[in-house]
């Protein structure tokens, strides 16, 4: 076999052969015999001055573990050992690339040995590196694009489902509002107690529609990154009082019980009262899907050091661990026994709003034992 004409360096490496070499068992050692001056710079130990007489594998780790294959080459059973593009970093930090080639020299004879050639491939391999880099980066972009594409397709399906449920959810309160309004117009002399009852239902359904539309608008703003929430110093108890007072009549009509526990002292934090109310309405709305008549809701505010804790709980059917894990994801809907399908929007907005208050939210739930949402917010002093 010819030695490549562009060979940069060449050196004989001759083994002390034994009679058993023909069977390709290396009983001798591969030591350098004749070494070109430049070969030294490729040795693993940069302080080495001369390689002559040194063991090949002490200075070129590339051949560690391959001694028996080298013996096969010495014996003439193998023609070549080729390690491509061995990276070599210069003192200046530049990468150079070399091919290591080992050829048989007078194979099978008593003075058989090896010819070790180091072939400079830097120019070609730098180009190859650039091409590989570009190819790999393109492949990564391609993989990212397919991931995004799959995600978009999934979102598209979810959005279609969302629109269909939203239309359905809006139709129900609109029908109720329309029905009761028609009845009141056509029966103007109706008993005032009944009239008030119907008006409360209309107001309640209108409130529900309003909140739904707000949530949808918020989602749109979140997607366009245009939702801005201005926080100001306020008492966390206030929005809780607002919501629980407003909910009391409706809960009573549904035969649901409610416990509210608030501290005597104000709990000051940076907040947007309307958004905290939205959080609570959405949590209540979610609970109502899983709670039976005679169910129980709890609201509480407490303080632990510099943290204000807002808890909301119910004694509904609770959730399975996999439901809890996905609870705050956009468009996620718990499967199974919910009394009505939601949009998968409310709890996503809850989490977003809590985080906009620099807070955290966790859900603790066990199937059959209700659910408690625990929100923690940083407090401010004075």
Partner 1 sequence: MLGDFSVGKTSLIRRFVEGRFDDKYLSTIGVKISRKQVERPEHQINLLIWDLAGGDNHANKLSGYLRGAAGALIVCDLTRDTTVYAFEHYSQQLRKFNESAPIVMAANKYDLSDQRQISDESLQKIADKLRADLLYTSAKTGQNVIEAFDLLADAVSK
Q: Which residues bind partner 1 (CB under 8 A)?
A: 44, 61-66, 69, 81-87, 97, 125, 128-129, 132-133, 136-137, 139-140, 143, 147
Which CB atom, from 67 or from 169, has the smaller least distance to partner 1? Answer: 67
CB of 123 to partner 1, least distance (A): 13
Which CB atom, from 75 or from 236, has the smaller least distance to partner 1? Answer: 75
CB of 203 to partner 1, least distance (A): 42
Which CB atom, from 25 or from 137, has the smaller least distance to partner 1? Answer: 137
CB of 66 to partner 1, least distance (A): 4
CB of 333 to partner 1, least distance (A): 21
CB of 316 to partner 1, least distance (A): 29
10 Å CB burial of residue 144 (0-12, 13-18, 19+) is: exposed
Which CB atom, from 144 or from 156, has the smaller least distance to partner 1? Answer: 144
Which CB atom, from 83 or from 246, has the smaller least distance to partner 1? Answer: 83
* Residue 102 near residue 72 (C-beta atoms within 8 A): no
Cα gap 146→122, rounded to integer Å = 35
């Amino acid at each position: 076999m010819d030695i490549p004409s562009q060979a940069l360096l060449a050196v004989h490496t001759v083994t002390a052969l034994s009679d058993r070499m023909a069977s390709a068992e290396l009983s001798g050692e591969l030591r350098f015999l004749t070494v070109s001056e430049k070969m030294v710079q490729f040795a693993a130990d940069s302080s080495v001055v001369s390689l002559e007489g040194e063991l090949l594998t002490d200075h070129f780790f590339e051949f560690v573990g391959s001694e028996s294959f080298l013996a096969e080459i010495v014996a003439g059973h193998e023609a070549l050992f080729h390690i491509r593009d061995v990276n070599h970093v210069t003192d200046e930090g530049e990468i150079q690339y070399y091919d290591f080639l080992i050829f048989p020299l007078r194979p099978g004879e008593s003075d058989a040995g090896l010819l070790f050639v180091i072939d400079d491939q830097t120019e070609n391999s730098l180009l190859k590196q650039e091409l590989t880099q570009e190819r790999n980066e393109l492949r990564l972009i391609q993989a990212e694009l397919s991931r995004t594409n799959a995600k978009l397709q999934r979102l598209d399906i979810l959005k279609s489902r969302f629109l269909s449920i939203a239309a359905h959810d809006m139709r129900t309160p609109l029908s109720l509002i329309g029905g009761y309004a028609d009845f009141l117009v056509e029966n103007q002399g109706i008993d005032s107690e009944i009239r008030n009852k119907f008006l409360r239902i209309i107001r309640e359904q209108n409130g529900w529609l309003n909140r739904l539309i707000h949530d949808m608008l918020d989602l749109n703003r979140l997607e366009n990154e245009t939702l801005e929430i201005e926080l100001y110093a306020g008492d966390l108890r206030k929005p809780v009082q607002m919501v629980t007072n407003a909910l009391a009549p409706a809960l009573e009509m549904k035969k649901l019980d409610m416990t509210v526990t608030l501290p005597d002292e104000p709990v000051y934090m940076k907040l947007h009262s309307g958004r905290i109310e939205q959080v609570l309405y959405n949590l209540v709305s979610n609970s109502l899907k899983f709670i039976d008549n005679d169910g129980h809701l709890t609201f509480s505010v407490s303080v632990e050091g510099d943290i204000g804790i807002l808890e909301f709980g119910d004694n509904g059917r609770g959730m399975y661990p996999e439901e809890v894990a996905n609870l705050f994801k956009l468009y996620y809907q718990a499967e199974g026994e919910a009394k009505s399908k939601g949009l998968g929007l409310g709890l996503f907005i809850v989490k977003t709003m809590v985080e906009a208050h620099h807070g955290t939210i966790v859900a603790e739930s066990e199937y059959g034992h209700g659910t408690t949402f625990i929100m923690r917010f940083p407090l401010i002093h004075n």
